A and B are shown apart, each in its own frame.
Chain A
Amino acid sequence: MPFTDREVLETVRMVELETLDIRAVTLGIQLLDCADPDLESTCEKVYAKIVHHARDLVSIADEIAAELGIPIVNKRIAVTPVSLIAAASGARDLVPIARAMDAAALAVGVDFIGGFTAYVHKGFTRADDALFESIPSALAETERVCSSVALATSRAGINMDAVSRFSDIILETAALTAKDGGLGCAKLVCFCNPVEDNPFVAGAHLGTGEAETVINVGVSGPGVVRSALERLGPEANLLAVAETVKRTAFKVTRVGELVGREAAKRLRTSFGIVDISLAPTPAVGDSVADILELIGVDKVGAPGSTAAVAMLTDAVKKGGAMASSSVGGLSGAFIPVSEDSTMIEAVRIGALSLAKLEAMTAVCSVGLDMVAVPGDTPASVLTGIIADEMAIGMVNHKTTAVRIIPVPGAGPGDTVEWGGLLGTAIVQDPGKFGCEVLHRRGGRIPAPIHSYKN
């Protein structure tokens, strides 16, 4: 036998009991050649090109999952930022492009398509402006389309005009999807230092430096890391904890590498990256907060949580980097509040505040994710929350994001059920004070001094 029983059973246990899975196989498709002076023709081309390339995505991913014996949970599509392909048309209302993307996603059987996107970290083109205006309706009128915007980078600083506008866009999106608890905002995210090959929604899109088509894979496995730490026990010292996480991340990433290579080969395209991100689901045991508590904090959000996230993210990256030469830019630990049952519990009992969550995002792999706030939160407060998160990313040369949902009609402590992967949220209190002047000033926060590296 080329493998020991222990090795075989370890792998089977990871899949059967510890919910090891491929979270997303995402086909990136460049749409730059769909630009057309006529918006209707642009939409036709967008639909036709996506369907043309992604027709076999779901069947091939299912075939690989069956043959390898590893579940592939989501099949998704990421496309060129729509503001770039819409520019040629000069159109102000870009909702028709979102509808074309939605119809294409439905036709090929994927649950989400990302790329209703604009990069405005330094300024707006006319098309970026049109895309911003179109976001609320696009998200309200479509089911599968996800939208993301770049508001800041370490090189350019923070575009505060864009941050302030984005706050209004969030509130408008929440209002248009009020009957679903503001769910449109779950498909809307802003970034500092976005990665252009992100396979995960809502931030998935395909940047301009990417190939014509590419396969990017997102692997997850908080359940596997959690079980490994449970077996290690509370007596082991932190070096042993880091080593255990690293070894586990290595094994999980290897599976992603195999699936990525195979998917690219069968779809006859190139393999981009494998992103190893511990991403929780509402399922019991599939929790990143559980891992933090196993590392040693009483409840996630308690003192020590930031240190625990820092260690976890770093160990995941190190294990992943040894397992694949094509590790994606987010790799680490996601802490989306509503999608993690232990994190929700921590909010419910008052252990996890918004302020502590922000501190944790300084060292996690993305940022403030799936956070619910009251529906009447002023735009100026959202501006402050977003600007703070962008500042963390800008100064630390890391990707940070904000996906925040002002739940219409809800107040602090209320529970909102979004269902499915999006889970349950408890509305968090952003506090009594805002930053009205900062919100209104406009302009840019200049790039930090250490960005001038040339």
Chain B
Amino acid sequence: MPRRFLTALDVQRAGQGEIVLEADTVVTPQARELAASLGVALRGPGGDHVVPAPDRGPDALRSSQAPPLPEPEDRGDGRTGVIVTVIGRNRPGILAEVTAALARLSVNVDDISQKMVDQYFHLVLLVSLPPEGSFDEFKTTLECMGGPEAYAVRVMNERVFRFMHRV
């Protein structure tokens, strides 16, 4: 009989020997502990029992097989970039600092726009990360640049802007 769960009570009933489980049976922590203390072996269909990946149910399976929902228009080349915005008080060299950091991380600048309003500037860069690059390192490096008195850097995925401003 297939079982969804193995509980401590099930182990207690077995008492000894081994219990053979289905591939997707979830073993409760109490059952595992009791089995270990009683010396009951837990076996899967192909040998030792391994913790199964969560079975998310039939709808999840159908969702994963369905074609993805249409997304708002993209750049046409199938790529998703990252938008870096830099906002702050102007002084010479900020663009150089930001692009130097991008160069160190092997990040390519696809597009760039900069505007001045009074003494403040905003810089918008559309960049592509190298496939092997770490997003975390990229984000941390950039967002730690500048400072409260200088400028602030924000990193956001291009898809956010696409979802918000395109249909």
A interface with B by C-beta (< 8 Å): 1-3, 5, 7-9, 11-12, 15-16, 30, 33-34, 36, 38, 40-41, 44-45, 47-49, 52-53, 55, 66-70, 211-214, 251, 254-255, 257-258, 261, 264, 267-271
Contacts and interface: CB of A to CB of B under 8 A. Distances in A.
Nearest to A64: B157
A1 B125 CA distance: 8
B58 A8 contact: no
Interface string B69-109: 10000010000000101010000000000000000000000
Contacts of A48: 5, 26-29
A40 B9 contact: yes
B119 interface: no
B133 to A, nearest CB: 13
B31 interface: yes
A34 B163 contact: no
6 contacts: A1-B111, A38-B7, A44-B31, A69-B157, A213-B60, A255-B164
Contacts of A12: 85, 87, 154, 156
A11 B60 contact: no
A212 B59 contact: yes
Nearest to B115: A5
B66 to A, nearest CB: 9
Interface of B: 4-5, 7-9, 26-31, 54-60, 62-64, 69, 75, 83, 85, 87, 111-113, 115, 122, 124, 126, 135-136, 139, 152, 154-165
A387 B157 CA distance: 48
Contacts of A254: 163-164
Contacts, number: 143
Specify which of B58, B136, B164 lies most central, judged by the most chain A CB atoms within 10 Å of its CB: B164
Nearest to A262: B159
Given A1-B113, A68-B157, A47 B28 contact: yes
Contacts of B5: 33-34, 41, 44-45, 48-49
Q: Is the interface of A mostly helix, strand, loop or mixed?
A: helix
Nearest to B63: A270
Given A15-B156, A270-B56, 11 more contacts: A8-B83, A11-B161, A11-B164, A44-B5, A44-B30, A44-B31, A48-B5, A211-B57, A251-B164, A264-B63, A269-B60
Most chain A beta carbons < 10 A, residue from B28, B87, B122: B28
Contact of B60 (A8, A36, A211, A255): A211
A66 to B, nearest CB: 6
A19 B154 CA distance: 15
B19 to A, nearest CB: 15
Given A3-B165, A41-B8, A261-B69, A70 B59 contact: no
A270 B161 CA distance: 24
